[in-house]
Amino acid sequence: MSTNVLVTGGCGFIGSNLVRYLLRERPDWKVVNLDRLTYAGNLENLADLADDARHVFVHGDVGDRACVDRVLQEHAIDCVLHLAAESHVDRSIEGPAVFVTTNVLGTQQLLEACRARGLRRFVQVSTDEVYGSLGPSGAFTETSPLQPSSPYSASKTGADLLALAYHHTYGLDVVVTRCSNNYGRYQFPEKLIPRMVVNALRNQKLPVYGDGQHVRDWLHVEDHCQGLLQALERGRAGEVYNLGGGAERKNLDLVKGILAALGKPESLIEFVTDRPGHDRRYAIDPAKSRRELGWTPAHSFEAGLADTVRWYVEHPEWWERVLSGEYRRTVTLTH
Ligand code: NAD
Ligand code: DAU
């Protein structure tokens, strides 16, 4: 059966990879991409789809009910993959308000529109950060307590709980996914890996927060996209699925690995003041996703990181336009 799927936030890092992934894996689907084009939204991430009529870009806000109603109706949407969000922890510490507006209130508006329309499925794309921080051992399961530390993760927790409440109260078919740190092509250079690669390529300092011993569990963005498709097609309504890469790395080791891959000296590393409320360690137990969705990540971290670093080396025009702000002038790519 062909599907008209709405991807929100499809011009961001994961969203743009997901739009491309869906069109490759499900060639008869139509993918409608609703994105407000904040600083993180970049139409150039989808430049290769400019002539592909299966992708429809709509410039709009998930919190704009009239806009969402129109998109759902006009494109006969049957499923939603909701990724649109403010996504950067440091920005949420500097200015939390927009995180509540988009991640909590925007999600609620979108849920309300979907409830009114009666969708086949709503996938709330969330994060392991809702579980807070781990000690040196153990991993998050879907029943771990919700203990978000930052305004970002608190806003995602609020959104997840609203989505689940729309299932329990109104019967909307909701699945929540929570995944670990993604890496790959088209990631905005405010996040650890692209920031370090781009700084190293420009021979600038690489700022490592605190002692650099914080641990993240890295997941290749394509493996995440696969998990989202499987959650959409195979997940049970009202359930939460954790998606993790099984690749725990200390930040400092990762940064040293990037410098080695680029042939740059470790003297570029600069230890800077730690992030307030900085979660020490994340790790995901993916057993439920493996068992119920049949999901396992395909990429090894070493190969995936090498490919990602190479992509940034070979595409300076992409990140130079991001750093200069030129990318925000791209306004075409509509059908
Ligand atoms: P991103 O910041 O790269 O992209 C976010 C996208 O959402 C942008 O295109 C932006 O323009 C759009 N957007 C923001 N506000 C909007 C609004 N009000 N209406 C419509 N569009 C809006 O984010 P990302 O890293 O690709 O993350 C995507 C989703 O995945 C987020 O929900 C995030 O919480 C979640 N997630 C990300 C990671 C990660 O490692 N990046 C890990 C787990 C979960
Ligand atoms: O765990 C999933 C989350 O991963 C997602 O929900 C978020 O949207 C995504 O941004 C990411 O959050 P993190 O805070 O873990 O990612 P970030 O890339 O900002 O930082 C990764 C680690 O690197 C973290 O321990 C902070 C550290 N760091 C980050 C930056 C940008 C540095 O040491 N220096 C830096 O310059």
CATH annotation of 4-329: 3.40.50.720
The pair phi, psi for residue 253, each rounded to 5°, is -65, -40
Q: Please pick, among 44, 61, 86, 129, the residue that the annotation labels catalytic.
A: 129
For atom 12 of ligand 1, the residue with the nearest CA is 9
CA 191 to ligand 2 center in whole angstroms: 6
pLDDT, position 334: 42
Average pLDDT over residues 146-164: 98
> Does 2 have pLDDT greater than 90?
no
pLDDT, position 329: 84
pLDDT, position 331: 59
Q: Is residue 14 in contact with ligand 1, taking CB distance under 6 Å?
A: yes
Gap between the terminal Cα atoms of the chain? 23
From 209, 256, 279, the mutation candidate for ligand 2 (largest count of ligand atoms within 8 A of CB) is 209
Domain boundaries, the chain: 4-329
* Interface predicted TM-score (ipTM) of this complex, two decimals: 0.99
| CA dist list (Å): 297 to 9, 167, 289 | 23, 28, 11
**In the 8-state DSSP scheme, what is residue 296?**
-
Neighbours of 51 (CB within 10 A): 8
Give the CB-side neighbour count of residue 195, counting CA atoms within 13 A.
13
Name the band, by pLDDT with cuts 50, 70 and 90, for residue 1.
low
> Does 332 have pLDDT greater than 60?
no
pLDDT digits (tens, 9 = 90+) for 202-252: 999 999 999 999 999 999 999 999 999 999 999 999 999 999 999 999 999
Residue found by looking up tokens 């997940």 in the block: 235
Detail the DSSP E strand segments found in 26-76. 30-35, 55-59
For atom 32 of ligand 1, the residue with the nearest CA is 83
From 93, 150, 191, 220, the mutation candidate for ligand 2 (largest count of ligand atoms within 8 A of CB) is 191
Give the number of the atom of ligand 1 that is nearest the alpha carbon of residue 84: 7
- 320 is annotated as an active-site residue: no
Between vectors from CA 91 to CA 324 and to CA 63, what angle results, nearest 5°? 95
Residues whose CB is less than 8 angstroms from the CB of residue 267 and which lie 6 or more positions away in sequence, other chains included = none
Q: Is 23 exposed, middle or buried (0-12, 13-18, 19+ CB in 10 A)?
A: middle
For atom 4 of ligand 1, the residue with the nearest CA is 12
- Beta-sheet pairing, 248-250 with 215-217: antiparallel
Q: Is residue 155 in contact with ligand 2, taking CB distance under 6 Å?
A: no
| CA dist list (Å): 270 to 67, 193, 199, 267 | 45, 15, 12, 8
Residue found by looking up tokens 């309300």 in the block: 112
Closest by alpha carbon to 274, among 213, 211, 216?
211
CA 15 to ligand 1 center in whole angstroms: 7
Name the band, by pLDDT with cuts 50, 70 and 90, for residue 335.
very low
| CA dist list (Å): 147 to 19, 37, 143 | 31, 30, 12
For atom 43 of ligand 1, the residue with the nearest CA is 127
